Structure 1
Amino acid sequence: MNSPSLQWTGSWIWTAENVSSRNSFVRFRREFNYESGQAQLHLTADARYVVWVNGHYLGQGPVRAWPAHWHFDTYDIAPYLKPGKNVVCVLVNHWGEGTFQYLVGPPGLLAQIELEGQSIPTDASWQASPSLAFATVAPRTSVQLSFEEQFDARLEDTWKAVDYSAENWPEATELRPAEDGFHRDLKPRDIPFLTLEPVLPKRLVSTEVVQSLPYSFTLYLKSAILPEDLASNHMVASAYLATQIWLQEEIEVKFVYSHKSPNQIKVNGELLEKGESYLDESHTIRVFPAKLRAGWNDVLISLYNRHLREFAISLDGPLGLRFSASGHGEDQAPWAVVGPFDLPAETWESIHNSTGHGSHALVPEATVQKAIEVWENGVVVPLVEEPFFQIVAPDCVSYTDVYAQFYTDKPQASEVVVEKAESLLSGADWTTVQPSENGDIRLLLDFGKEIIGYHQFEVVAAAGTILDWHGFEFIQPDGRLNFTEELNNSFRYVCREGNQTYQSYHRRGFQYCHLTIRNQTGPVQLRGVQVLFNTYPQAKRGSFACSDPNLDRIWEVGAHTLRLCAEDTYTDCPTYEQTHWVGDMRNEALIDWAINGDPRLWFHCLEQAGQSLERSPLVESQVPSSWEIILPAWSFLWMRSCREYLFYSGDQEGAARLLPWVERNVEGIRSYLNEQNLFEIKAWNLFDWAAMDTPAVGVVTHNNFFVVLALREVAQLAQWLDRDDLATSWRALADEVSLAINANLWSEEKQAFTDCARAGVHSPVFSQQTHTVAVMSGVAA
């Protein structure tokens, strides 16, 4: 049913043209006449949108959400309208596969322009056209996030302008009704829009000339190994990556793994040994020298287990090498997946005792023994006609990987000429970077402290000049740079001719940012290089000051860190994951209350976490996510946070909305009590990254302590909400589990609680962390 806050009269729309199922970008336009009065725009999209009115940037959205509890945004557009013709323009990016903040859904835009006396919904009167400027074949940023941003301004026109002629754009296609059965319970955004605060660089740290390796491939292999799986679950698979390389004469090359790396590599049947890196200790790069013979050479690479089956491989060698999976020439696909094969029995047993999943053999011929034979032989030619030899599709091969190219670049001893470098720090004047005959120019900018947001810049350059950006968080005291391995915290902008400005589509967290200027044929002028700091607005109702400057500094650092981790949810970090981890959220919410006293984001996160109970028996560990995983301690911290929310905010109405989710979570706890009344679940039973014994299968002691603590605290919550029946029941359940802990998990010999019990047998580990929760819960006598 439609949300009572808005009567949707239109449909979800999309382009009628063929677009990629992964990382597609579609542009939408709707022209309309306006006289005067109020004007609003309501919109949402799957997965994300950017919206402009008459060329004026409005914002981006929607907030991350479960599909069954989707959100829309509302903008007051009257200040940007003029009498006569106006236009709303929307760019929608459909990811097509899951992340740690998105579950895959059907693509589309849903919008409604509300004028006085007129409603303009999304329907066939809108126009839609694929965007050619954004690369759809691009590496994933990470398993947690979507795709690396790659934008070619030469392929962009003035489609956002009022006077743009869209006569060649086709009508949009109406896909489905507003409440489409997937995006349900459409509700208005319940938290403020994030800030857009300009931040300039504070210093230019260094300049250098670099040269790139001639060959680079980033391969998305999940479509070959797990073709039906669009989620982000951890999967175990047995498979290999294969190619054949042709060259005219024998020569030594180097295979280079930057990140997202495969495992062992064989060339012509011989296992390669790791060689010396050509880069400094800031890089954990792996280099494997190999001698290639004249003609065709077999390359076979073992693929190991991970969430995201994407691999980056570079090669340092002469120009003119030809890559072909089948060995028929450069017109053929360069890579193939061999497998997947069936997994050994011991691997399946390990999977059963963990929270992972396993892939099955592609065909009956792909047996465990065959997988062993393939690796032992180490050659590709005999495999080409096998039914488990799968060519990697063109749309799964990225030849541009901004991070991998940056990370493997070779510094050159060469002068860099930067005129008016200080203007990079003021943003008011032009900085000119002269080209070098010896390679590409790389600048390192320091923004003074960690930030997160959108890059902005103005540039004058020749068409085809490339600006590659990569951010990272800190530099070690010894000078080592802490790069973002396993994360493409990077983007590419390809210039058109002349003057142009750009605001990045993705937000990124970093303190330091490399800018590499490639394909430079003349001077490049830069101005207004800055970041739009993009976080939850900070009310700053709390304050702290004392005579100890160190304590004052701790408060400042904590407040800034909290801001970095507050966006449309609390997140674990601003750079790597940007994920709503429920346990992290509980702690951040308490800090936020002390600093800002604004409960809206806190409630938003608590409710969103509770909604995961529609998929799982306990509140999930990170939400809304395509990695379906329970971390029980985080579920119990969520229960505690529900009580703390009412205790601090006094929001009885909000707490009453949370209570039914708490009830469901308690029922989930009951369902996992074993015959001894101990909580026992196959899950990610983490508590701390310490030397604890917390297996996925077995009775984990700290979980049981948390059960008691959480039940007693939500019993108090229920009592505050005049639900004495629940309070009594939950306290009784807590007492039962407490008795069971003391009866079954206490060691008289050690006079301590064991970390866990497997089939009733105590673990030899008695950790400090387990006993900390024993005291907190009140179970310890």
Structure 2
Amino acid sequence: MRETFANRRWRGQWIWAEHTAVGAPSRENPMNGSLDPERFDRRVLFRRTFELTEVPDHAPFRISSDSRHVLYVNGVELARGPIRHGGRRLYYDVGDAATALRPGRNVIAVLARFYGHRTAWWVPSPTTYSLGGGALVAEFGLGAERWIGTDTAWRCRVPDAWTPCAPRSAVSPQIPEILDARRLDPAWTHPDFDDKLWDAATVLAAAHVGSTGATRPPAEPYGALLPNPLPALGGATRTPAAFDSAPLPAAPRPEGPLTFADVHAALLDALTAIRPEARPDTVPDPAVDAPSPTLALPAGRRLVIADLGRMVGGTVRLDLEAPPGTVVFGALTESPTPAALASAACFAYTARGDEAGERFRLGDPAGGRYVLLVVDAVGPVRLAPAVLERLRPRPAGPYFACSDPLLERIHRVGLRTVDLTAHDAYIDCPSREQRAWTGDAVVHQSVDLVTNPDWSLARHQPVLTATPRGDGLLPMVAAGDGGDPELVGIPDWSLHWVRSVYNLHRYTGDRTLIARLLPAVETVLDWFTAFLGADGLVHDVTGWVLIDWSPVQVEGTSAALNALWARALGDFAEMAHRLGDANRAARARESHDAVRVGFEVFWDEERGGYRDHAVDDVVRPAMSEHTTAAAVCADLVPAERADRVRRFLLARDVMFTLAPVAAHGGDADGAPTGHEVARFTPPAVTWDARRLVVGAQPFFRYVVHDALALLGAADTIADLCRDWRHLLASGPTAWRETWEGGSYCHGWSSTPTRDLLVYTLGITPAEPGYTTVRIAPRLGDLDWAKGAVPTPYGLVHVAVEGTRVHVESPVPVRLVAPDGTVVDRPAGTFDADLTAPAS
């Protein structure tokens, strides 16, 4: 399909309604236009009818927009997009409309939307005098060299059914949706709808300094549009497992159009009056599609809580039979509490009163477990809420099983959590934010590389993120509001991103892709050199040095940050060397060697680990497993210390973690979740720093487990993964953000799903691109384990019971026994004894 549209020149032209959001020249830059502050969150309906004598076998199309579109052909939804993108990078979707066409009259209908305000997944493009304030472009092939492209033959209308809204807050940037369906004819997407009173679409000619007046892509500010490299999102229809309903006191209707304040007040007042309790998960495993149960309600005002039984993510759907003017205030939340409501996607729907019923779909993606509804009706109502999941697909094939049902469950929950946080990018959580944080994604990607045969998102995420600021550091967030280069950065998040590029080097072996990303890696590493001291360490690094939600001490000279930088230098050196750039590789190794020398100042001989930081050249006593683990991963630990460092990292009895209460204002229930420590500033030491060690939250455990494997303790990792049992009580179907609270679904907490395959079964690339696979099973206390991981050449299957291993591999195998014996085997199927692998 993409080959059909290999030409960057489009047949379709940029169109919009007559009045765009681009206004007068910008005061800051008179060579550009500026966004009209009064034209935000605007929707435009587009239609194009045509006749067909017969339906073609194929009807390829491509479509893009600024900011969002939903494409219908004869009332059938065929596409939603575009995927998230930077201000000067826009993607188009492709598809085939043939199955939706019919002989006779047909219609292409598009609901296009321009946000105007940045969100977690969209940032405005720079404006020219004509583009950057709402635009649509599309083209459709109808057989026999017949094409329909967007132009003035398209009809359009700016509906007044929606109330324009702005993002709610910096923490929760979702835009509420307020729709009065009485002002929108649902037949507008169908061929027989009469659009004679609609306006002709306006073609937008590029207008800027140096412009040739082009009306088709490529054009400023978007440049050449790029094909969407990701598969279509989809998933099951998640329906309620249970309902709760309670009457509410009557309340006066607001005068005039509803506002977000009306929506929030209605829901908040209801939750405050009823005070419902969260339920335990009622569906331990995600169910298949099921009919949405219908709830019958009497006239009046009622609170309805539809419990989906698990965390979900996608499009909220509401089927409704109600008298005209019935108002449904709603939100999809993590829990039925005011605290969760404060960061949830909210909506209000005013019913038309169709006798045959009506359907509402929330335009933007949302996540949560509870659909909260306040129904205000003058007569009986029947409603059926559901969520249509919109997640990137996970093809079948890879798996993990073992003799411990707990670890099998932990593996499954991690898969589900990553799936819920894998959309058009790897995001932090589907509910509160939906941001593609620069550092978080290294865990999501690592899980996908060993559990998902489709690596398209694992490859795309580092590319999406590779947009350094002017000073070289990456923004906190990719293609979202937190990606503003004027915002403070998280230096260590850029270093985790470097590791994600290194993962692509190891797993894909794609030299072209790595060559494309390596310049951004180099600018990130160079950013740190401004903070270098004569001791080879970086000191007083600016920005938000986060490391983890645990209270790792970072003031002054952060040992953990230096170790992460050194690991990234090593990663860069290896990648540059493979690309044949010996000079850059050598310079990176020189910097790395200098860190190794300077890092010795942090060694604590008595305790057998590394201290966290130095202030005014005085090394403070606080220690964390973060610093020591990162030092191992960075190859900063002399070989003679390996045994002591391994004991330090395995001494779990002296480790503790603290929850990020101040960072998020408590957990989703609004309750304190442990020691209240603000991680937006370095936390004060309130513990016995000479005895206790700060332990890692789930996110940083990926570094800890990497370190233990490097220290020869991979056999301990299966047992360490059992720590995740503590999260099962509050998140049986998705992992929470931290041991003590946070969001109810955070992909960065899914490290065990990677490690049970990578370290317990021991399946990793021996050479970049899996030209050879390394198999080094380390089962620990398990009786048996088996699984399969994807490679570019097919699945590698490994089954281990006791000392016997069975392997099926499409590539040569390097088998590593527990005693370190290495035996190379050709591709194929074989059995071996790990005590004598050569036999």
> What TM-score does the superposition give when structure 1 sets the normalisation length?
0.69
C-alpha displacement at 1:737, in angstroms?
2.8
Q: Deviations over 1:394-419 (max 9, x none)?
A: 99x946442332112277799xxxxx
How far the C-alpha of 1:141 sits from its partner, in A, is 6.8
User: Deviation at 1:655?
Assistant: 2.7
Mean Cα deviation higher: 115-124 or 67-76 = 115-124
1:626 matched to which residue of 2?
Answer: 481
Letter in 2 for 1:209: P
Name the SS for the 1:159 alignment partner.
helix
Deviations 1:172-217 (A, max 9, x none): 222234233221231100010100422221122x22112377799x
Partner of 1:367: none
Displacement of 1:435 after TM fit? 1.9
Question: Which residue, out of 131, 138, 149, partners 1:121?
Answer: 149
Match of 1:164 in 2: 193
Structure 1: gaps of 5 or more residues: 217-329, 331-393, 415-424, 476-480
Q: C-alpha distance in 2, partners of 1:166/1:502?
A: 22
CA change 1:459–1:572 in 2 (3 A) is same
1:461-519 deviation line (CA, Å, top 9, x unaligned): 111101222222247xxxxx57424313221111002221222212211112222211x
**Does the aligned pair in 2 maintain the 1:451–1:511 contact within 8 Å?**
yes
| Alpha-carbon distance, 1:572 to partner | 0.9
Task: Determine whether 1:55 maps to 2:75.
Answer: yes
After TM superposition, give the deviation of residue 779 of structure 1 in Å: 2.2
Q: 1:634 to 1:595 in 2, by over 3 A?
A: same
Contact 1:27-1:89 within 8 A present in 2 as well: yes
The Cα offsets for residues 253-290 of structure 1, whole Å up to 9 and x where unpaired, read as xxxxxxxxxxxxxxxxxxxxxxxxxxxxxxxxxxxxxx
**Deviations for 1:46-100, whole angstroms, at most 9, x for unmatched residues?**
1111111111111211000112221111121111112333211111121112223
Confirm whether residue 646 of structure 1 aligns to residue 664 of structure 2: no
547, 554, 571: which one pairs with 1:694?
554
**What's the counterpart of residue 511 of structure 1?**
369
Indicate the RMSD between aligned Cα atoms, in angstroms. 3.1
Partner of 1:207: 245
Q: How many residues align?
A: 578
Question: Is 1:407 matched up with 2:268?
Answer: yes
Match of 2:424 in 1: 568
Structure 1 pair 14/674, CA: closer, same or farther in 2 (3 Å)? farther
Amino acid at match of 1:208: A
| 1:719 Cα deviation after fit | 2.6
Deviation, structure 1 residue 45: 1.0
Kindly provide the amino acid, as one letter, of the partner of residue 512 in structure 2: E
- Equivalence map 1:60-71=2 (5 Å): 60-71=80-91
Q: Is the 8 A contact 1:198 1:531 kept in 2?
A: yes
Letter in 2 for 1:587: V
When residues 734 and 130 of structure 1 are mapped into structure 2, their CA distance, relative to the original with a 3 A threshold, is same
The question of 1:497 aligning with 2:353 is answered yes
Deviation readout 1:323-381 (Å, 9 max, x if unpaired): xxxxxxx9xxxxxxxxxxxxxxxxxxxxxxxxxxxxxxxxxxxxxxxxxxxxxxxxxxx
Structure 2 matches for 1:70-81, cutoff 5 A? 70-81=90-101
CA distance in 2, matches of 1:399, 1:429: 28
Question: Which letter maps to 2:547?
Answer: F
- SS of equivalent residue, structure 1 residue 444: strand
C-alpha separation in 2, matches of 1:139 and 1:724: 49
Structure 2 counterpart of 1:722, from 580, 600, 610 = 580
Which residue does the alignment assign to 2:317? 456
Cα gap change, 1:674 to 1:48, in 2 (>3 Å)? farther
**Structure having the larger proportion of residues in strand:** 1
Distance 2:605 2:399 in 1: 49
Distance in 2 between the 1:583 and 1:496 partners? 46
Structure showing greater relative contact order (alpha-carbon pairs closer than 8 Å, 6 or more residues apart):
1
Q: Which residue of 1 aligns with 2:696?
A: none
1:131 to 156, 159, 178: 159
Structure 1 residues 132 and 198, CA gap change in structure 2 (3 angstroms): same
* Counterpart-to-counterpart distance in 1, 2:341 and 2:578: 48
The answer to whether the 8 A contact 1:129-1:170 is kept is yes
Pair 736,139 (structure 1): closer, same or farther in 2 beyond 3 Å: closer
Q: Percent identity?
A: 28
- Equivalent position to 1:473, from 326, 334, 338: 334
Pick closer, same or farther for the CA change 1:549–1:588 going to 2, 3 Å: same
**Deviation at residue 531 of structure 1 after TM alignment:** 1.6
Q: Tell me which residue corresponds to 2:15.
A: 13
Displacement after TM superposition at 1:677 (Å): 3.8
State the match for 1:705 in structure 2. 563
Amino acid at match of 2:538: F
Of residues 593, 599, 603 in structure 2, which corresponds to 1:735? 593
1:152 equivalenced with 2:210 (yes/no)? no
Structure 2 CA distance for aligned equivalents of residues 18 and 65 of structure 1: 21
Determine the C-alpha separation between the residues in 1 that align with 2:361 and 2:386: 10
1:237 equivalent in structure 2: none
Alignment of 1:496-645 (within 5 A): 496-498=352-354, 499-518=357-376, 520-527=377-384, 529-610=385-466, 612-613=467-468, 615-627=470-482, 628=484, 629-645=488-504
Contact 1:443 1:516 in 2 (8 A): yes
Any conservation in 1 of the 2:344–2:431 contact (CA below 8 Å)? Answer: no
Say if 1:655 and 1:412 are closer, same or farther in 2 by CA, change over 3 A.
closer
2 CA distance for matches of 1:411 and 1:676? Answer: 58
Q: Is the 8 A contact 1:68 1:185 kept in 2?
A: no
Partner of 1:679: 538
Structure 1's 98 and 429: CA in aligned 2 closer, same or farther, altered over 3 A? closer
Partner SS state of residue 473, structure 2:
coil
**Cα distance in 2 between the residues matched to 1:150 and 1:526:** 18
Deviations 1:628-663 (A, max 9, x none): 342111111111121122212333333333223323
Contact 1:99 1:143 (8 Å CA) reproduced: no
Map of 1:184 onto structure 2: 223
TM-score by length of 2: 0.64
What secondary structure, in the 3-state scheme, does the structure 2 residue paired with 1:211 have?
coil
Extract unaligned runs of 5+ from structure 2: 22-37, 126-131, 207-214, 276-288, 639-839
Conservation of the 8 A alpha-carbon contact between 1:212 and 1:410: no
Once the two structures are TM-superposed, the CA of residue 457 in structure 1 deviates from its matched residue by 3.1
Partner of 2:129: none
